[in-house]
Structure 1
């Protein structure tokens, strides 16, 4: 990540007491969901409190939700969530896999952007919840001279609880800047040809390593309440289109692939079919060999490494399934980095 604060100079013809100003450049700020600083109780509680207090995530009235959250959920859930994070934690770097992978993605993208634009473009990342915060990274970019910032939520499919809340936080950060940079937000890239190609390559790579080929590929997306779809959120439709485009690219028929939704939370009905129930049903139907991929996640995280590769796998095997293969997220695979960099370049048009 570029640090251009040392290049600040006083403008020509300005008086001696004029503040120094960094040379103008463009910022590219990648954004992911977030991660606790540690899996112990208090870091987990802080993280969950920020996450579950977001009205885009839980839109119940505050007077009804906050007593439940503060009095019940945040008393118990940090322990359970902490154990889940502990099972996947990167102990060597003392950080979650999401943090490790996001750093790797950012470094790879920054290297590609630098090859083309030199120091004219600064690439960095932030998290919607936890650290590094969106506010801190916007401040850093503005101080470094970024007069234009391209904000890139790393969610292929748009949802109010992911893309929109990331955008909210970005614009809240801009509100606190005296000299606001010009801003752009990257559109969802759920149907971008290079994203679909990267997904297809990951499936082909995963299947190549399996001697006894799976009966079906389960394409599992993060879930959300059915109510959000009825309110106009396009997430469900974009997920379905991603699956269709992936199937067409692979040259498969509809019997070889299915779309499901995971991570159900709360009492109301969510998008169906639920992954954990559907994989069990597949096993009972005689599909004893399945593979699972999670295209809504740009990086492996608690929902993939722990929920899919442990909880959902267990449900499948308990129902009689025999072969469960998880195909990792695209992470910092070259095809994924190329896809994300291409999206960035397309959105920098006229700026560089």
Structure 2
């Protein structure tokens, strides 16, 4: 029996298999509102056969967007658009849906990635960025304004308010974005956090913001629904955020009842040196898994069915995230099930597409 296609339960939520569709930004929203593109995109992926789908980075306030074209959950209009999107998907798919809540910090107000990498000015529809410290990502990005303590407290509330809206929009899970050089990661790393108050300096102080965000979300999001987090386990830069510190954070979140931890790396500093290759981030997931009881999701150049099966079978992670590969092949779980001799759920409209000789591939 395939381990990749074995069920898993996180909290009170049941997943048919261990395949996760991770957040992948689409840069197609209007004023934070989901559009027809999102309906087509997520509608398609909801029939992929994966166990969980995590919607793209969705900002808790307008100034937290990576670009002017990102999803948001800061107001009634954004909430209603998200509720409509989820309702449309729910008509034809029972796949559990999570949403990734984010504030981009110093990496905000940038154009779509297929355009020139240059800060979108206020005159062009952008905004002034904020961060733990006034340090720019690089010369193409805005130099952020350092957040005040009161502003930090307000940001914690904005994460919680977005979580309330996510619940009302019928989202099943929340994933806090603490990775890839965005605001929470900026607080964690000494490379971007030069503060001298209670949010900077010592490790406990650098952890304070993410812990406050988690507690605030957990306090308002229904107990039967999960709250997980995505982190970058290392900056890949000497003197930066590292695996040892990630393990300390993971243990603290584990004690607080975090539902899962999604382990990525990098994205904070231009000096990062990443040895990219198949499974290059899996050892970080494994190291964290050995220290916590909550489920761990591995990600990073996991492209083949047998590769994903091995990660789960050997206990390196509890689930695997298939990102760019599932954009290229939206039915990747179908193909993986065929290779591994497993079964996958598909819409009845597609049931007759089962390849000759694979009569038991699709669950009824």
Taking structure 2 as the reference length, the TM-score comes to: 0.30
Q: Which has the larger radius of gyration?
A: 1
| Greater relative contact order structure (CA < 8 Å, 6+ sep) | 1
